[in-house]
Each structure stands twice: as C-alpha cells, then as structure tokens.
Chain A
Amino acid sequence: MRALSLHLAVLALLLALHFVLPAYHHANLARIMVLAVFAMGYNIAFGYTGLLSLGHALFLSAGMFGAGLLIQHFGLTAAPALLIGTLAGAAMAALTGLLALRTAGVSLMIVTLMFAQAGYLTLLYFGAVTGGDEGFPVPAAGRVAFGLNLAAEGPRYLVALGLFALALMGNLALVRSRFGRVMVAMRENEERSRMLGYNPFAVKLGVMVLSGLYAGAAGAFYGVMFGYVGATFATIPYSILPLLYVLLGGAGVTLGPLLGAVLMFYLIDLASSHTTAQLAVTGGALLVLVLFAPKGILGSLRERGLASWLP
C-alpha cells in the first residue's frame, strides 16, 4: 500500500511539474523520463535478475531505428512506428539473449558489449539507409500520433509522462508478481533456483526480452519525440548510461532509475556548463559508486532499514 501510494505520488508530482517548470527544465524532464524508461529496462535485467549487460545500446537503437527507418523510408505514421520500434527492441534482445545467455558474469558482459559494437558497426555499414554517424532527422509528418504533435513541447511532455507511468507501474507489478520473485531468486542463487524446478535460461531469456521491450520503447519514443535518429545511440557510452543511472539511483529498486537519471542528467549538465569535463564526471561517478555506494541511493536507504518496504 505504502509503495503504491509512493509511486502514484511520484507520478502526480511529475504531472504537476508539467504546469510549473520553466521551459528549459520542462524539456529536460521529458528527455529524462524517456531515458529513465531505458534505465528501468536495464534495472529489470541488472538490478533484479543480476544480468550485467554492457550492450543495451543495441536494444535502444533497435527501437530508435526500427521506428525511425519505417517513418523515413516507408512513410509510416508515428503510432505504428512506435509500436514496431518497441517490439524491435524486444526482438533484438531475444536474439542477443539466445546466444549471450549461454554465458554468465564477465563473459556475459563482454559478449553483450561485442554484440552491441557489431550492431553499431552494422548501422555504419548501411550508412546509405541509416544515415551512418550523421543520422537523420525524423520527418515532421511522422511525429504525430493520435492527433498529438510530439514535436510540440506540451504534448511531448505528457506523452513522455504517459510512457513513463506505464513503464513504472508495469515494473512495479512485475517485481511484485511471482515471476518477479523468480527473477530475484536467479540473482541470489541460480543453482538453488534450478533445484526448485526453474529453468534459469528460460527465466533469464524472458527477462532479457522484457528489458529489451523497455529499451526499445525508450529508443522509439526518444527518436520520434526529439526528431533525431543516429548511430551515436548505438555506441558503448549509451550502454554504460543506464548502468550509471541504475547504480546511482539504486539497483533493484523501482524508483532507482528515475532518481539516477535525474541526478546524473543534471550533474553532467552542470559540469558541461562550467567545464568541458563531462567524461571525467561520468567516470568519476562510476568510480565513486562502485567504491563507496554499490547499492545506490535508494538501495542504501532500503538497506539501512529506513525504507525497507521499497519494492
């Protein structure tokens, strides 16, 4: 009950901010919410199930290019393109998972990294279609969904909030479900779970697909809402990004990705307006987190018993 109220309160706060935030922060928050959906997908795999992937940029860009290319080359409208893009993320995750989940731990990290890198190179290779490093702007006609112009500030924020709300409540329901319990069981002790009759590979594959679904949705919406699709989103830094958000906010906590995304976004924003040291900020944050707060902000709170009910 407490958890549900907290989640609803967070969503209400985000809605209230829509009416009061100045334009600059309003636009930022729309971006952050979509990126938080990406990180939520990452959290499902990493935070809850213990699958440390370094290749989630692949699923993000699958969603982004899935939607973007359909609009650009086949003149699809936004709604079906967004749906197909989202599914493309899940499909890519399924494909990756089928191969990569035969490994675990460090090997899983390297294999996912390699797959994502191959995906990035593939985008470059087909530069004639994908725009390569330059990318391409999404045509205005393809940025209207259900009569809402996603290029305009107001509707964009509300659509981002809608997507975020759906993702967050889905996430909450998932981790409270029986399957959510099995996910955590895999993270805690895979061998034990097998001896309770759970097929680790099947569970992890399911988790990967869900995670890819989130990442694909984030990619598709990000591309269509902000009007740009590019191969940069397939590079390694975009695989590190959700890891960073989740580590900062708290792995295995539903609200961790949002908190991490907000803080990290503004930290980098702050750093880059005063210095040119964004890279150092990212690197430094990673180091500080692994060294001193591997559970992240909300994770540490939960552990100290201050909010042991956080899902």
Chain B
Amino acid sequence: MAAVLALSAVGLSLTFGVMRVVNVAHGEFFMLGAVLAWVVVQAVPSAPLGFVAALILCPLVVGAVAALADTAILKRLNYDPEATIVATIGISYILQQGALSFFGPDARAVEAPFSLRLQFPWFGYSGYKLFVVIAAGLVLLAVWLFMTRSRAGLVMRATQVDRNTARAFGINVDRVYAGTFALGAALAAVAAVLIVPIQQAHYLMGHDPLLLSFIVVIIGGLGSIRGTLIAALLIGLSDGIISMFFTPTLAKIVATLAVALVLVFRPQGLFGARA
C-alpha cells in the first residue's frame, strides 16, 4: 500500500509544487485510472496482455484528460489558488458523474495478471503485491530521475521557482503547466491500475486515496517530493501498525486530525524544512 500511496501522493505533490494548485480532483483521476483499467482488461482477451495494455493506456488517457482540464479551465483562472480549488471540486464531480454514467454504480474487480504466491518459511506473500511494490518503486525512481536529470525536469523546477522569470527565459509556461498537471494525474492513474487487482474499481473510490494523498503530501511538506516519499513510507508502514490497535475508522480519524494539526502548527510539513 505504501508504494502505491507514494505514487499517487507524488502526483499531487508535483502539481502543487510546480503549479501551486491543490488538485481536489486528484482522487478522481485515480478513480478514472482504475475504472479505465477495468474497461481495457475487459476489452483485451488475454489477462496479462490486457493488464500491460491498461498500464500503458490508462495513464495516457488520464493524463490527456488532465491536460485538457488544465488548458480549458485552470489556465483561464490564472491559477488563482482558491478559484482553482473550487474548479477542481467541480471537475471531480463531473468525473464522478462520467464514471457513474458509463460504468455504473457497482464495484468491479480486475484479476491480477498472475497469481504467484511466494512462500516464505514464516508467512506467505502474494507475488502480485510484491510486483506492485517493485513496479511502484521503479516508477518513482523514473520520476525522480526525470525531475533531477532531464531537461524537462529542469524546466519544471525552474518554473516552480519563478513563473515570470521562467517565461522571460523563453519557457512555454502554459505547456509546462499542462504537462505537469497531466503527469501528476498520470501518476495517480498508474497507482490506480496497479491497485485494481487488489481493490475493486468503483466510481466513488477516489475519496480515500485523495485523503491519504493529502495526508502524505502535507506531512511531507507541500511540494517537496523527497518529504512526500518519506511520509508515504512512514504512513504506509504505520498504517498497518495503527490498525492493529484501532479500528479502521478510528485510525482514519486520528490520521485526519493529525494532518490538520500539522498544517496548523507546522505548515512546512514534518520533513519539509527545506523543500
């Protein structure tokens, strides 16, 4: 879970970090990824092939939807922070509606592309879960390299520091923003595709990942990708520990309140001293 959480949260962190946009529709992009994965897997007869197709197609589609939303809506708002939040709430309603209308209100399961069970001496471990962890790790590594090493990453970081200066240096800020927004959403979609075989796809499923992603991003310090990763790991691990002591609902209450208090008393995040 921690790995998938990190993926989704990094997507959110990216949009906030570069664009200063709090994307409330992030959970719905996640949901869209999961729902599309189900559609793709249904369309492709062979199970492993369908899954691979979903893993490639869904992020692309979701990314495209996000880019469209960015140019059609967010750009017109001039990225005013409060207006964009209201707008992304609107987008999330519409995405939910889309999924509800075309996909129906039922939860659908997607079968894992393989069902290998690793048998350790003391406990069994689903091979698919292990695959998810490794895959998510690889994607995260790719994002990390992309941000730190590639030219596009450099451009994005430059835009993050100062939009106007970036523009003065001939960077097409509009394209960077659309790209960032798309990348952030695509990461959520990757996370979703990976998770569907474990959790079922449902039009309201975006809710929990959004909240969890918020938690991770806020604890990690908004916009700090390293902080987000650490926070995701911590939460993912402690999730298991907390739920041993509390019921899931109580655990969620505690986590939600804790995050709100972090935001009140340590707005730079627990690890985000230097973002």
Contacts and interface: CB of A to CB of B under 8 A. Distances in A.
A107 B22 CA distance: 10
Interface string B183-227: 000000000000000000000000000010010001000000000
A103 B264 contact: yes
**For chain A, what secondary structure do more than half of its interface residues adopt (helix, strand, loop), or is it mixed?**
helix
Interface residues of B, number: 38
B240 interface: no
Given A102-B264, A291-B73, A280 B97 contact: yes
A279 B100 contact: yes
Given A105-B81, A279-B94, A121 B22 contact: no
Interface in A259-303: 276-280, 282-287, 289-291, 294
A109 interface: yes
A290 B247 contact: no
B83 interface: yes
B86 interface: yes
A88 to B, nearest CB: 19
Nearest to A280: B97
B101 interface: yes
B115 to A, nearest CB: 34
A121 to B, nearest CB: 5
B94 A284 contact: yes
A99 B257 CA distance: 11
Interface string B81-95: 111011101111110
A242 to B, nearest CB: 13
A111 interface: yes
Nearest to B82: A52
Contacts of B101: 276-277
A125 B260 CA distance: 19
B253 interface: yes
A132 to B, nearest CB: 10
19 contacts: A52-B85, A100-B264, A105-B81, A110-B22, A110-B214, A111-B263, A114-B214, A114-B256, A114-B259, A114-B260, A115-B257, A121-B256, A279-B100, A280-B97, A280-B98, A290-B87, A291-B73, A291-B77, A294-B83
Given A100-B260, A106-B81, A282-B90, 11 more contacts: A52-B82, A99-B261, A105-B82, A110-B263, A111-B264, A279-B93, A280-B98, A283-B91, A284-B93, A286-B93, A290-B87
Interface of B: 22, 73, 76-77, 81-83, 85-87, 89-94, 96-98, 100-101, 211, 214, 218, 247, 249-250, 252-253, 256-257, 259-261, 263-265, 267
Interface of A: 52, 54, 99-100, 102-103, 105-107, 109-111, 114-115, 117-118, 121-122, 124-125, 240, 243, 247, 276-280, 282-287, 289-291, 294
